[in-house]
Structure 1
Amino acid sequence: MVSTEKAPQSFPKPEFTGAEAGLLDFPSSTSRSYNYFKPRKLRATMYEDVTMDVQPDPERHLSQGWIYGFADGPGGYPKEWTALKSSDWHQFLDPNEEWEQTIYRNNSNVVRQIQLNLENAKKAGAYHNWTPTWARFVERHLGAWMHAEHGLGMHVFCSEQRSAPTNMINNAIAVNTAHKLRFAQDLALYNLDLSESDVPFDGAVHRSVWQEDPAWQGVREAVERLTAIGDWAESLFAANVVFEQLVGVLFRSHLVMQVAARNGDYVTPTLVGAGEHDYERDRSYTRVLFAMLTNDAAHSAHNKEVLASWLEKWVPVATAAAKALQPIWSQPHEKVVTFADSWDASVTGLRTLLDELSLDEPKGLLS
């Protein structure tokens, strides 16, 4: 007689060895909320969760070295790509806590606000209140500045963001890139909007101004020289600390933002103000990054020496670019600010920033 009883089934049992990650000691090994890094505060922020160690490092998690490399050099993200040194590049966290979602959310909010402002300006006929000299100033000089913003975004910051040694630094620079490209696009669309309005406005003259006007050739040269820097940290320092403070803020904040309203223009300041707000955020992460390096326990002296040499190199370039712009201060009909006052304000801003970075002012260069 055949038995109908089934034999008991057996299943392989899991076996754990000392190689399992669960036996390792992590900062939150004893916590019910597991994490493999130590957050700055009691609990990790969303920014930390989505950026920390997304770009791994052999000194932290890649025990067998980089998982990829280049044919003519070392793998991954070589520290030799900058002359600056850090005891731990991973100490940097973006004070703005930017990650993928914030990039889209913040920039979409800016674009939406600008579009509403332009629509309201057209409905109200706001451009008819402009003085003729101001319309000419906007078509020539604000249009020319569009090229500077695009050049910085596409050819300076965009190249930097691949080269930094941690994902946290690269994320911050990538957002900086997005800011510049979006602002350049804002200016281009504004130029198109004005060209299609029923007021006299030459929407194409900005090209010849950027390429030929003597007042802009110093800015053009400075931007082109910034694109040729090989050291990613030098590029970031020269652009965000020196050029932006002595030229960018000088033009955007201490000229356009100051004189637009007095010339009947209440639209342009909302647009340029968005660009200034972008720079405030970008300056914030830049300040934190370079302060980390100038206060590094092991490499502070070395880093200060390197940064001082970069100041000696780039302050004269930015100063020449700024002073070449001086003639455009006299072009608006209503002149509420002089070039000397604007220049003093920009120099004061740079001195404040250098003080925050524990760097000495380059002697004789900021006069």
Structure 2
Amino acid sequence: MQYELRYQVIEPRRQTYQNVADRLGDQPASRYLEGTLDVEPRENFHYRPTWARDRELYDPRYTALRLTDPYDFLDPRQYYYTPYVTNRANAHEEFGKTIGYLEKRDLLSRLPRQWHHLVAEVVVPLRHFESGAQLVSVAGARFAYGTSIEQCCTYAAFDRIGNAQMLSRLGLAQGSGTADILRTAKNAWLEAAHLQPLRRLVEEVMALGDWAEALLAVDAVDKLVYPLLYAGLDEAALLGGAGAYSLVAQHFTTWYADQRKWLDALRAAWTRDPDHGTANQEVLERIGQTWGARAAEAVAPIEAIVRELEGQAA
């Protein structure tokens, strides 16, 4: 007796979850959309926050920047847990390979004197700036309204502590595996004159009650620090005998380009909102004027060191 195997296709009764179907119709959706749209609870809370009894646990009023529908903003990178973790694991593995290459050939300890000073006294101490930025991102993850925004803040918080760890690894590699350079970096963050304006700004930003304003204030610093210290010094490093620094800087330049994608998209969503767009634009202009000026003032001493280094390289 012969038997014939046949495939039987069972059509699903629905193509996606109800929360996605309510917005997009009953059609196949990406994992990102299924894990994002309308996931955050909006009703049936058991209690209000004891520190803010006029707010709900998830409340759009934790910031002056509002969206009529928070899911008008979607992460252009389409990150949910799996692709985010995979992407960042690969990035940190590549950074580890770079550090291993530099350690094996003892390239960091042989940097020219002025470049060694830049790494030890300016770049590595910025791990404390990244740590402060992480706390600001954590506040965004807690108080942002809408899963699509909260996800991006959460991933940014992990990124920031990852950046701090990479800077620490850079310091350890430069110091031949000892923690002396990290202690020097901490003392520089606490006491060095060229870092005190930035340290003060970070501490003030951490105390802001508006999570979005704090996030944009940190971004105002990023817009100056990352192009200045990483992408901006690439050519000078290659010409000044500090190719090892160029290899490290490329990793931070790549991360900053990725960070810009979701922040710029969120700013655009705030601006084009049909109900709050005008008010949001006014708030964004105020934040830009206030924290843009503060950021420029805080980064100015660092920029002076960089310009002097570029002059020496030239």
Using the size of structure 2 for normalisation, the TM-score is: 0.85
- Is 1:83 the counterpart of 2:64? The answer is yes
Letter in 2 for 1:96: R
Match of 1:317 in 2: 294
Against the structure 1 CA distance between its residues 308 and 332, is the aligned structure 2 distance closer, same or farther, given a 3 Å change threshold? closer
4+ long deviations beyond 4 Å: 39-42
Match of 1:266 in 2: 243
Match of 1:189 in 2: 169
Match of 1:205 in 2: 184
Could you tell me which of 110, 124, 129 is aligned with 1:143? 124
Residues 160 and 236, structure 1, Cα contact 8 Å, conserved in 2: yes
Q: After TM superposition, list the pairs within 5 Å mapping 1:105-254 onto structure 2.
A: 105-127=86-108, 129-153=110-134, 155-196=135-176, 202-240=181-219, 242-254=220-232
**Separation in structure 1 between the aligned mates of residue 49 and residue 122 of structure 2, nearest angstrom:** 43
Match of 1:301 in 2: 278
Against the structure 1 CA distance between its residues 335 and 76, is the aligned structure 2 distance closer, same or farther, given a 3 Å change threshold? same
Against the structure 1 CA distance between its residues 95 and 233, is the aligned structure 2 distance closer, same or farther, given a 3 Å change threshold? same
Give the superposition deviation at 1:88. 0.9
- Is 1:51 the counterpart of 2:36? The answer is yes
Q: Which has the higher helix share?
A: 2
Percent identity for Structure 1 against Structure 2: 23
**Separation in structure 2 between the aligned mates of residue 313 and residue 143 of structure 1, nearest angstrom:** 27
Residues 238 and 314, structure 1, Cα contact 8 Å, conserved in 2: yes
Give the superposition deviation at 1:275. 2.1
**Separation in structure 1 between the aligned mates of residue 55 and residue 117 of structure 2, nearest angstrom:** 53
**Separation in structure 1 between the aligned mates of residue 268 and residue 206 of structure 2, nearest angstrom:** 24
Q: Which runs of 5+ in 2 are unaligned?
A: 1-11
**Separation in structure 1 between the aligned mates of residue 304 and residue 253 of structure 2, nearest angstrom:** 23
CA deviation digits over 1:253-296, x for unaligned, max 9? 223x3432233333333333222222222211111112111111
Match of 1:66 in 2: 45
Q: Which runs of 5+ in 1 are unaligned?
A: 1-29, 59-64, 338-367
Against the structure 1 CA distance between its residues 196 and 39, is the aligned structure 2 distance closer, same or farther, given a 3 Å change threshold? farther
Against the structure 1 CA distance between its residues 202 and 291, is the aligned structure 2 distance closer, same or farther, given a 3 Å change threshold? closer
Match of 1:277 in 2: 254
Residues 149 and 183, structure 1, Cα contact 8 Å, conserved in 2: yes
Letter in 1 for 2:253: E
Give the superposition deviation at 1:39. 4.5
CA deviation digits over 1:139-187, x for unaligned, max 9? 111112222112111x211122100111111001111111111011011
Using the size of structure 1 for normalisation, the TM-score is: 0.74
**Separation in structure 2 between the aligned mates of residue 44 and residue 187 of structure 1, nearest angstrom:** 39
**Separation in structure 2 between the aligned mates of residue 331 and residue 253 of structure 1, nearest angstrom:** 17
Could you tell me which of 29, 33, 49 is aligned with 2:15? 33
**Separation in structure 2 between the aligned mates of residue 246 and residue 100 of structure 1, nearest angstrom:** 30
Letter in 1 for 2:174: L
Aligned CA-pair RMSD: 2.6
Against the structure 1 CA distance between its residues 176 and 191, is the aligned structure 2 distance closer, same or farther, given a 3 Å change threshold? same
**Separation in structure 2 between the aligned mates of residue 206 and residue 258 of structure 1, nearest angstrom:** 25
CA deviation digits over 1:304-362, x for unaligned, max 9? 1111121222122011012222331255387457xxxxxxxxxxxxxxxxxxxxxxxxx
Kindly tell me the number of residue pairs found equivalent between the two proteins: 297
**Separation in structure 2 between the aligned mates of residue 179 and residue 86 of structure 1, nearest angstrom:** 25
Residues 215 and 327, structure 1, Cα contact 8 Å, conserved in 2: no
Against the structure 1 CA distance between its residues 116 and 306, is the aligned structure 2 distance closer, same or farther, given a 3 Å change threshold? same
**Separation in structure 1 between the aligned mates of residue 225 and residue 41 of structure 2, nearest angstrom:** 37
Give the superposition deviation at 1:101. 1.2
Higher deviation after alignment, 257-266 or 273-282: 257-266
